[in-house]
Amino acid sequence: MIKRIGVMTGGGDCPGLNAVLRAVVRTAILKYGWEVYGFKDGYRGLVMNEYVKLKSNDVSGILDKGGTILGSSNRDNPFNFRIERDGKVEYKDMSERVIDNINMHKIDCMVLIGGDGTLTSARDFARMGLNVVGVPKTIDNDLSGTDLTFGFMTAVETATDAIDKLHSTAESHHRVMILEVMGRYAGWIALQSGIAGGADAILIPEIPYDIKKVVEMIQRRRREGKHFSIIVAAEGAKAVDGDVVVSKVVHDSPDPIRLGGVGNQIAEQIEKLTGIETRVAVLGHLQRGGRPNPFDRILSTRFGVAAVEYINEGKFGIMVSLKGDEITAIPLEEAVGKLKTVPPEGELVKIAKSLGVSFGD
């Protein structure tokens, strides 16, 4: 019989995290009478035993708020945890301590909310015998086990709004405007916002671009009397003869590579080849911040309620998932380790090309 559950938000922040927390806490308390413990700052809170006992009132008024009331971290891997002693840094497997802390509080199941890294650790804890249920979160929409992750549609909306604003300034000054968006190694944000915003070129990791093809598009538009162009570039976009652009390496992070800078690289090449003034806007963390849109609030709520219902049914070692219009669940073993990327021959790419959008190929 379930009496007490725990919940944690890991990885990068994302619109909708608070909505999931609200759904988990309210369903657990109001429907089943369980106690809920929230662990702070991702897996760090589980390692350091930093927590708060959540009441229904604690999640009141947070449905529309960005971020997470529990805090998060994308640097703390419990299986390779950074410890500093006497000025020296070492890494240690702290997974047993996590389990000890959970057992100390007599927690019957943990709800672990996060992306591929967080859920990979969730899978590893499930292998150790811990009762866990995962909830998929990432604005990148690159988890293969679910049709959509919450936070993605809000990020697309933010990027689309930016494209709309860039149109007017690009047209006024006869410039090429490049919007660099997030997504890491998947081009979902760039593709969907590019289509929604009427971009003239969309450059994504899945379709390496030839800068000469992009220039041909710009010059063709100018011949047609259109003296501006809008390009949306995913941060992981790369040229056919190049590689991704790395802004920096964070050595103490489980995922040390930080992408960024491809927009500036493309702008320099366009100006060199055409002489046309080209400006870059890097949307950055604006895509991850702010209030979730209605779609993500509803999806987050559905995920949170489903997680509690699966716990009540005694189903563990799973990740809740959206398949079509239905909320379902798949084993964590199947949910992680494989990125969901844009199919180069998929429907959305074909639609964009039918509208004359260039992918630089």
Tens-place pLDDT, residues 138-157? 999 999 999 999 999 999 99
What mean pLDDT, rounded, does the chain reach? 95
pLDDT at 118 over 80: yes
State the Cα–Cα distance between residues 213 and 206, nearest whole angstrom.
16
State the Cα–Cα distance between residues 233 and 314, nearest whole angstrom.
44
- State the pLDDT at residue 75: 83
**Domains in the chain, start-ordered, CATH in brackets?**
4-150+292-324 (3.40.50.450), 155-288+343-354 (3.40.50.460)
Q: What is the pLDDT of residues 256-312, one digit of tens each?
A: 788 899 999 999 999 999 999 999 999 999 999 999 999 999 999 999 999 999 999
Q: What is the mean pLDDT of residues 171-177?
A: 93
Q: Helix, strand or coil for residue 26?
A: helix
pLDDT at 160 over 70: yes
Task: Provide the token pair at 214.
Answer: 């992009």
Q: What is the DSSP letter of 295?
A: H
- State the pLDDT at residue 73: 87
pLDDT at 252 over 80: no
Q: What amino acid positions are annotated as catalytic residues?
A: 140
Q: What is the pLDDT of residues 197-237, one digit of tens each?
A: 999 999 999 999 999 999 999 999 999 999 999 999 999 99
- State the pLDDT at residue 251: 72
Q: What is the pLDDT of residues 42-73, one digit of tens each?
A: 999 999 999 999 999 999 999 999 999 999 98
pLDDT at 255 over 80: no
pTM of this prediction? 0.94
At 166, the pLDDT band (50, 70, 90 cuts) reads very high
- Ranges of H-type helices in the chain: 17-26, 43-48, 95-104, 116-127, 152-173, 188-197, 211-223, 262-274, 294-312, 332-335, 347-354
Higher-confidence residue of 74 and 319: namely: 319
At 254, the pLDDT band (50, 70, 90 cuts) reads low
Taking each helix axis from N to C end, the angle separating 294-312 and 152-173, rounded to the nearest 10 degrees, works out to 160
State the Cα–Cα distance between residues 78 and 100, nearest whole angstrom.
13
Q: Is 296 within 8 Å of 16 (Cβ atoms)?
A: yes
Q: What is the pLDDT of residues 316-356, one digit of tens each?
A: 999 999 999 999 999 999 999 899 999 999 999 999 999 99
